[in-house]
Amino acid sequence: MTKRIAIIRGDGIGPEIIAQALAVLDKVAEKFGHTFNYTEAPMGGEAIDLFNDPLPKSSLDTCLNSDSVLLSAVGGPKWDNVSKELRPERGLLRLRAGLGLYANLRPARLFDELRDASPLKSSIIDNGIDFVVVRELIGGAYFGEHTTEKRDGEDYAQDIMGYSEHEIERIAHVAFQTAQKRQKKVCSVDKANVLDSSKLWRKVVTRVAENYPDVILSHMYVDNCAMQLVRSPSQFDVIVTENLFGDILSDEASMITGSIGMIPSSSLGDGTRGLYEPIHGSAPDIAGQDKANPIGMILSTAMMLRYSFDMPKEADAIELAVDKFLKEGFRTGDAMSEGKTLLGCCDTGRAICAKI
């Protein structure tokens, strides 16, 4: 099978970690008889430097003409002082909208080998951590109207968090369908005691749930959910929530698993094309030092194989290789502990390739 993959190498540690992910994909192609063709699609800080645009039309066209997109991470202090429309993150928002990617899936799984790296005490994580945050991606406050004006002699700013029924319906279906493949539990997170958008969110999610009688639906306020994630994370299977809440909760979820460098994510729309990326940032402070953890990027390629290319055996091969890597005592710097073997970014990629 031949697949076209758009490659966004990104900024900071981005080029380092995506190089290891591509090496893993090449090994999978060799083992399973596939062909993966890569096309560069500059975005973020790199694209600002080259084209004065965080997402040139040529890069968006490359992504639209590909079967899927791999993205490392974008941004950094070098571009902190550019105008709002030129910031690297604007390219990412435009890419999601341009590809119609409204559902972001972020798994939070605690590897047994990394229990000591979790900030939570053993009594809390004894039942394990294994859930998915399904975040609505192209609505809410991030895509609403943003205004700043003078009122009574001082600056006044507001950001509109708005949702339509169809936007909530489609993300709810993703959450319930994801739960059907897991433990059949969905927790919908909102602030329906205060916000009108959340009242509509709860109403629509409850209605969609009627189509999935095999899935148990519960509701939770976002502040309580933030507390429950550190108090009893094992209670969750699938969490579905709106854009801003999902951004915050998924970052919290990543940290309780021990290392943000281990967590992949996928952004999906109505078709099979997806955007796959680790959830961490570009970490410019360690760029070019061979210190980055490429595992979140590598596991993102496994998600791509599973969800966009319907290659479950190939995805399993990558995930099992990562499990073997950890069980044999190898660690990157962010997850290092006493008695383990420290490897840099390149050696981590080579070791995982060797285990496929």
Q: Which residue of the set 142, 163, 212, 307 is catalytic? A: 142
Q: Extract the tokens encoding 319.
A: 């995930």
Q: What is the SS3 assignment for 41?
A: coil
Max intra-chain CA distance, the chain: 68
Closest CA to 239 of 248, 43, 231: 248
Euclidean distance between CA atoms 275 and 104, whole angstroms: 9
Compute CA distances 143 → 59, 63, 94, whole Å.
21, 21, 10
Verify whether residue 223 is a known catalytic residue. Answer: yes
Q: Which residue of the set 27, 53, 67, 191 is catalytic? A: 191
Name residues whose C-beta falls within 8 Å of residue 78's C-beta, 6 or more positions apart in sequence: 11, 45, 284
Verify whether residue 155 is a known catalytic residue. Answer: no
As a residue count, the chain comes to 356
Q: Which residue of the set 26, 159, 251, 323 is catalytic? A: 251
Verify whether residue 212 is a known catalytic residue. Answer: no
Verify whether residue 191 is a known catalytic residue. Answer: yes
CA count, 13 A, side-chain hemisphere, 165: 5
Q: Which residue of the set 11, 53, 247, 334 is catalytic? A: 247
Verify whether residue 316 is a known catalytic residue. Answer: no
Euclidean distance between CA atoms 109 and 295, whole angstroms: 13
Task: Find how far residue 12's CA is from the centre of its chain.
Answer: 18
Q: Which residue of the set 223, 270, 285, 316 is catalytic? A: 223
Q: What is the SS3 assignment for 127?
A: coil
Name residues whose C-beta falls within 8 Å of residue 316's C-beta, 6 or more positions apart in sequence: none
Based on its alpha-carbon atoms, the radius of gyration of the chain, rounded to whole angstroms, reads 20
Active-site residues: which are they? 142, 191, 223, 247, 251
